[in-house]
Amino acid sequence: MIQKQNLFSRIAGISTIVLCAVGGFFLLKQPAQSIPTKPTPEEIVQVTEVRSLPGQLDNIPLFNSDSPEWVKKEGILLSTFPPEGKKVPAAHLNFPLQGQFNLFAHHFSHTPPNLPTLYIGAMLYNPGTEPITVEVLQAESYLMEPDPPFKQKPEQSESPNGEVYSGPGIRAVDNVLRGMRQSDFPEKLVIPGGESAMLMNRPIPVRGLEKPINGRSTFMRLNFRGGAPVPAHPVSAPAKVYAATLAMYAKQNPDGSDRPPTLQEWQELLDNGGLAGPRDKTPTPPGGAGNLIYGRVAGVQQGSGWQAQLVDRDSTDLKIPEMGKGISFAIATLRGGKLGTEQVQAAKLLARYPDTACEARGNYGVYYDLALQRYNAGDKLQTVGLSLAKPLKEDVLSKNGWRFRKPSLDFPYFRGTVRLRYQDGGGVNTTRYVHLWHRVGQVVEPMVKLKLAAGESRSIKVDFIYPPDATPPQVLTVRTLE
């Protein structure tokens, strides 16, 4: 009894402990702890006037090699070569390119057996009899490890020299936006008639990494013309070129070390190989029923740039909205994510494989060049902000504006660099590169705030290459701040 009394005295006043008698013994039983419930997210509706983005995509084709994203079987990633003489004709889209075109390639190597290095090759072929000269205007290619790993960044970061990045594709298009070309890409590539040349032959190493997963993103702006670098006579017909991206594991040197594939080995793969694998999910065709599957792109898309003047109808200005309200333009809209605009900006595919995306659902690599001439029609000084944000995805808006939430969803839906060019309050021409790292539904701060006097009009240019590893759509909003 004394022992029981001491036991009671030790637990006196502790209401969270239950005393139970089992078989003549007293047991202390801790009640199950309740799991704290997460607070219901707060929905925030930003009242805004929703507008479609003026303009349209240009006609510069983009060679878009993004499927399969995770390569586990070597083979052809994307080929515009003619199928004649090829062992797997269906792997070749027979789509010649002319003049200017851009190239985007984004692929990963995932834990291959014995951890060999996967190489990504980009081949060009001149089917004519005269040589052609390919001008490499800008070109950047980066690995995920160790170049620019996917790491969290602040919501906004100034990046005047490209020192802020959060992924290989993001860094590649950021540097191309700045007009850069990596030193190991040639300025020009001369391809004799009837011959092929490697534009790129680069590794994706995984051996020695903490996790044997790595990737490479490449973006190039290319232009080619017929004739030698200094042509002695005019070319009678426009020059054509065929392009292909391929994936091949490293070959072995006699000492067992890895070496890159040769042009002959790449040609052998192109002539006799099939499509790389595994294949991605087959996309939902336009108008198809069921869950909407976009798929990843492997094809030639129509359009590499979108230029627009963001002004009021029948005007050269954009009159700023009332205080606390905004005017928003949708960016990179797509099926299932038109944000109430009835506009799909996703580029059409001129050639594609049947089991890959029906359109360029992310517009990765598309250059958006947008100009705003903001005008204060009021009678007092106003502060105007400009933001790029990712509201909750909707096809038809359920509220009178964009829906955001606090807290935002965890995953970043826009990671990339935006260039801003404007005159500051002192009339000084200013150029800023701002790296954004935005989650979906996140309420963000303006990229820039400018004061407009009554009757004042001031321009600002916003341009960026839509970054890989972003998820569309976004909205560009002009808001008169309170």
Confidence at residue 436, expressed as pLDDT on a 0 to 100 scale: 96
Cα–Cα distance between 408 and 440 in angstroms, integer? Answer: 6
Cα–Cα distance between 434 and 310 in angstroms, integer? Answer: 20
CA 369 to chain centre: 16
Closest listed residue to residue 439, CA positions, set 413, 407, 418, 415: 413
Q: Calculate Rg over the CA atoms of the chain.
A: 28
DSSP string across 19-58: EEEETTEEEEEPPPPPPPPPPPPEEEEEEEEEEPPPS-B-
Cα angle 238, 301, 360; round to 5: 175
Residue 137: C-alpha distances to residues 104, 134, 222 (Å): 14, 9, 6
Confidence at residue 263, expressed as pLDDT on a 0 to 100 scale: 97
Residue 261: C-alpha distances to residues 142, 190, 203, 217 (Å): 19, 21, 10, 19
Question: Is the bond preceding 68 in cis, omega lying within 30 degrees of 0?
Answer: yes
pTM for this predicted structure:
0.88
Closest listed residue to residue 390, CA positions, set 310, 459, 466: 466
Confidence at residue 304, expressed as pLDDT on a 0 to 100 scale: 97
Look up residue 84 and give its two tokens: 């004649």
Neighbour tally for 127: CB within 10 Å:
16
Confidence at residue 120, expressed as pLDDT on a 0 to 100 scale: 98
Confidence at residue 47, expressed as pLDDT on a 0 to 100 scale: 82
Confidence at residue 384, expressed as pLDDT on a 0 to 100 scale: 95
Confidence at residue 33, expressed as pLDDT on a 0 to 100 scale: 55
Question: Which regions in the chain score pLDDT beneath 70?
Answer: 1-38, 227-238
Confidence at residue 313, expressed as pLDDT on a 0 to 100 scale: 92
Residue ranges of the domains in the chain?
43-56+304-480, 68-272
* Beta carbons within 8 Å of 56's beta carbon, 6+ residues apart: 303, 306
Confidence at residue 90, expressed as pLDDT on a 0 to 100 scale: 98
Closest listed residue to residue 346, CA positions, set 7, 64, 144: 64
Confidence at residue 464, expressed as pLDDT on a 0 to 100 scale: 98
Question: Is the bond preceding 407 in cis, omega lying within 30 degrees of 0?
Answer: yes
Cα–Cα distance between 357 and 280 in angstroms, integer? Answer: 9
DSSP string across 196-244: EEEEEEEEE--TTSSSSEEEEEEEEEEEEEES-SS-SS--SS---BEEE
Look up residue 379 and give its two tokens: 């009678």
Closest listed residue to residue 172, CA positions, set 364, 302, 360: 364
